[in-house]
Structure 1
Amino acid sequence: MELQSANPDTTVHIEVEPEPNPDSPTRVFKRIYICLDPLKLGFKECGRDILGLDGAFLKGSQQGQVLVAVGLDSNNGLYPLAYAIAEAENKDSWTWFLECLKDDLALQNNSRFTFISDRQKGLIPALEKVFPAAEHRFCLRHIHQNMKLKWRGKGFKDCLWACATARTGWAQSDVLLNNMCEVLNAKTVEGREKPIISCLEFLREYLMKRIVNVMKVQHQCKGPLTPKITEILDEIKKAAAQCTVKWCGDSRWQVQGTLGQYVVNVEQKVCTCRRWEFSGIPCKHAVAVNWDMAAHKQQVGPPEDWVHPCYYLDTWKKAYAYKVGPINGPKLWPISLVPTTLTPPLHHKQAGRPKKKRRRDQVEIEDAMEKKGKLTKKDGTVTCKKCNVKGHNSRSCKGKATEGGSTNDEVAAVGSAGGSAAEE
């Protein structure tokens, strides 16, 4: 009630566990879905029909999952749309989450929307049930990670990327990775260690502060396009200088590039390389045609005019014109007239110390140990910054810092047989 009073038209759905006794005054909490109205309006202003879906574990006393739906703004930055706390990541919870999302976005069953995910448990059948006509992309990084267990090497990786980029999509985005969800999970990891209500408040405050931070960046921007898209187009212009253009007399041009020969249709705004249609940003062949048209006195604007409107700076500012309103503290929250009382979900404490970090698989560990073709210093011999003696670090150093060297006691303690270093 407090959240909806500060942000009218905010969607909040709460579901409870089935109760065999209908006269019971309490209900056990099961899941909650929240879609703040400012984010709902801002996402529609972005004009990019793509959403990343992901789930992350709660790390506090309560077990469960934080489900998120994250879009992209005009600067290729993440734009969180909705979040939920559910009991688990399965078909039932994802179906419920997507049904709520469909109502907020006013989508139909046959909507040509695009989703990208890491192939979470239950998400694939849930998407097929709720959005049977939608495009479902899989994060290429996770596909490659699974593929590396059997097929390794640069040749297989290049084939995979060639297959992933040689296609078109419905959304104005060439996104192949689900990084927007990964970034949001990393930013909210501290909140997932808190109880349920505190976790929800942490998420809301992060979303409120993020809008302000983006606005500060927008005030420093100039030009028709957003900063990130401007950088991308500048790189495309450098590559377009190497292209050769020939006109056939109508709206089509033949362009010879470094990697082949393609046809650009300026009337339909497409190129046979598919990058223009796929991303909404003119490819190098289209930019070369634009320059050729201008050189021959044809009526054409700069290449920036051929960029999709979703990448304009004005579009970016419109998306962040809606602010998440602040709310009062719990002592000032209104009293609900609902006759039942919500109780926390049942919790079974696991043996041992709770794990905070995500478990990495063997492929991730190997990739982390290798950087730019060279092995990292992980698991190698360290050198103490206090005494310059190998075998321990400054935190476990028991001697005193010396100028340009170490004391004889420290050298004897560490360098005698290596046993003392192991003990330390």
Structure 2
Amino acid sequence: MQYNPRNYVNLDFEQSTGRFKGFFISFKSCIDGFNHIRTLLFLDGTFLKERFKGNLLAARGKDGNKGLFPLAFAIVDFETIANWTWFLQHLTKVVSSARTLTFVFDRNAGLLESFPTVFPSAHHAYCLQHLQANLRDKLRWVDNRGKRYGEMTSNAAESFNKWILDARNYPITSQTNEDIYEVYSFPTVLIDVGKRSCSCFQWQLNEFPCAHAVVAIQNNGRDFSTCVEQFFTIDQYKTAYSGYIQPIPTVDKSSFSEDSFIIYPPTVKRPQRRPKKNRIPFREEKLS
């Protein structure tokens, strides 16, 4: 906080025992940069394997080039409903309430319970890889509202260049007016440049033109930048990464005195070893 005073940081511990409970951090440069990328956040937790164990919770976005954009991190003792609620409550402090967000996460019990109470107006979309395991059960909870920008999984999607790789090979004809075109491909599709739509639905899903739409826009003579969501523009991409995180020169030699307040590590539950079963030695005897 001394070198990056506008970061959002919260350190939580048990008042009675002084033991660590949670640490949340979101760098100011990441907070500002998120305002210039898509309104999409991926939530996930993963185990820590060091001496004191614990879990790392994270909220990540995606920039216009489909690169992962870190927004917030937290270290907690366990991945529980209470800890996810605590994480999401602090997350509300670093995202703008004026933006309607879409969250992508799996069926973690802590997230399913805490998300609707902390982000009641946000949209929730599941990762299809998690839905595939038990489609019938998971579809009861799916909420497909909100803009997903074509992100149907938690993994990185295909790059924009793949969408327009074969665009120059498609013949094109104009129909009805200057905005509607029929592109002969496999299969043939209908483009409405004015409504930003294609019958292949990729333009509507991704919020940037598909390969069919590219040739229609070129033939229409319209400025290509007006047909792309602002989060995919170079200016927004550069602005998202324009901030910086000031390094901490004393990170390895922090000052400490006997009067300093000490936060103790959480109590770690070690997995119990299974008792070995009594084994009867086998002895082969020769028949006489």
Using a 3 Å threshold, how does the CA distance of structure 1 residues 57 and 274 change in structure 2: closer, same or farther?
same
Q: Is the 8 A contact 1:89 1:121 kept in 2?
A: no
The residue number in structure 2 matching 1:37 is 28
The residue number in structure 1 matching 2:173 is 245
The residue number in structure 2 matching 1:114 is 102
1:286 and 2:213 aligned: yes
The residue number in structure 2 matching 1:170 is 147
The residue number in structure 2 matching 1:300 is 222
Listed one character per residue, the Cα deviations across residues 256-292 of structure 1 (whole Å, up to 9, x for unaligned) are 5423543x33223233433212212212332232243
The residue number in structure 2 matching 1:71 is 61
Using a 3 Å threshold, how does the CA distance of structure 1 residues 42 and 261 change in structure 2: closer, same or farther?
closer
1:53 and 2:22 aligned: no
The one-letter code of the counterpart of 2:175 is: W
The residue number in structure 2 matching 1:103 is 93
Q: How much does 1:119 deviate?
A: 1.9
Quick one: percent identity of the two aligned structures? 29
Counting matched residue pairs gives 268
Listed one character per residue, the Cα deviations across residues 334-371 of structure 1 (whole Å, up to 9, x for unaligned) are 679x985321111233345xxxxxxxxxxxxxxxxxxx
The residue number in structure 2 matching 1:87 is 77
Measured in 1, the distance between the counterparts of 2:215 and 2:35 equals 33
Measured in 2, the distance between the counterparts of 1:144 and 1:104 equals 33
Measured in 1, the distance between the counterparts of 2:255 and 2:64 equals 38
Q: How much does 1:250 deviate?
A: 5.5
Listed one character per residue, the Cα deviations across residues 55-104 of structure 1 (whole Å, up to 9, x for unaligned) are 00111121321000011012111011110011211221111111111111
Measured in 2, the distance between the counterparts of 1:97 and 1:74 equals 26
The one-letter code of the counterpart of 2:222 is: V
Measured in 2, the distance between the counterparts of 1:145 and 1:311 equals 33
Pairs within 5 Å for 1:259-270 = 259-262=187-190, 264-270=191-197
Q: How much does 1:327 deviate?
A: 0.5
Measured in 1, the distance between the counterparts of 2:88 and 2:78 equals 15
Using a 3 Å threshold, how does the CA distance of structure 1 residues 317 and 29 change in structure 2: closer, same or farther?
same
The one-letter code of the counterpart of 2:238 is: K
Measured in 1, the distance between the counterparts of 2:6 and 2:83 equals 23
Using a 3 Å threshold, how does the CA distance of structure 1 residues 330 and 285 change in structure 2: closer, same or farther?
closer
Tell me which of 247, 250, 261 is aligned to 1:329: 250
Using a 3 Å threshold, how does the CA distance of structure 1 residues 244 and 34 change in structure 2: closer, same or farther?
same
The residue number in structure 2 matching 1:131 is 119
Measured in 1, the distance between the counterparts of 2:2 and 2:202 equals 45
The residue number in structure 1 matching 2:280 is none
What's the secondary structure of 1:82's corresponding residue?
strand
State the Cα RMSD in Å: 3.2
Q: How much does 1:244 deviate?
A: 4.2
Q: How much does 1:331 deviate?
A: 6.0
What's the secondary structure of 2:92's corresponding residue?
helix
Q: Is the 8 A contact 1:27 1:343 kept in 2?
A: yes
Unaligned runs of 5+ in 1: 20-25, 148-159, 181-226, 294-298, 353-424
The residue number in structure 1 matching 2:234 is 313
Measured in 2, the distance between the counterparts of 1:174 and 1:347 equals 41
Q: How much does 1:177 deviate?
A: 1.6
Unaligned runs of 5+ in 2: 274-288
The one-letter code of the counterpart of 1:324 is: I
Measured in 2, the distance between the counterparts of 1:319 and 1:261 equals 35
Q: How much does 1:307 deviate?
A: 2.5
Using a 3 Å threshold, how does the CA distance of structure 1 residues 64 and 122 change in structure 2: closer, same or farther?
same
Specify which structure has the higher proportion of helix: 1
Q: Is the 8 A contact 1:280 1:307 kept in 2?
A: yes
What's the secondary structure of 2:44's corresponding residue?
strand
Q: Is the 8 A contact 1:168 1:277 kept in 2?
A: no
Q: Is the 8 A contact 1:243 1:258 kept in 2?
A: no
Tell me which of 202, 209, 232 is aligned to 1:275: 202
Using a 3 Å threshold, how does the CA distance of structure 1 residues 27 and 260 change in structure 2: closer, same or farther?
same
Q: Which one has the largest radius of gyration? A: 1
Using a 3 Å threshold, how does the CA distance of structure 1 residues 311 and 330 change in structure 2: closer, same or farther?
closer
Q: Is the 8 A contact 2:101 2:146 kept in 1?
A: no
What's the secondary structure of 2:18's corresponding residue?
strand
Q: Is the 8 A contact 2:164 2:211 kept in 1?
A: no
1:348 and 2:278 aligned: no
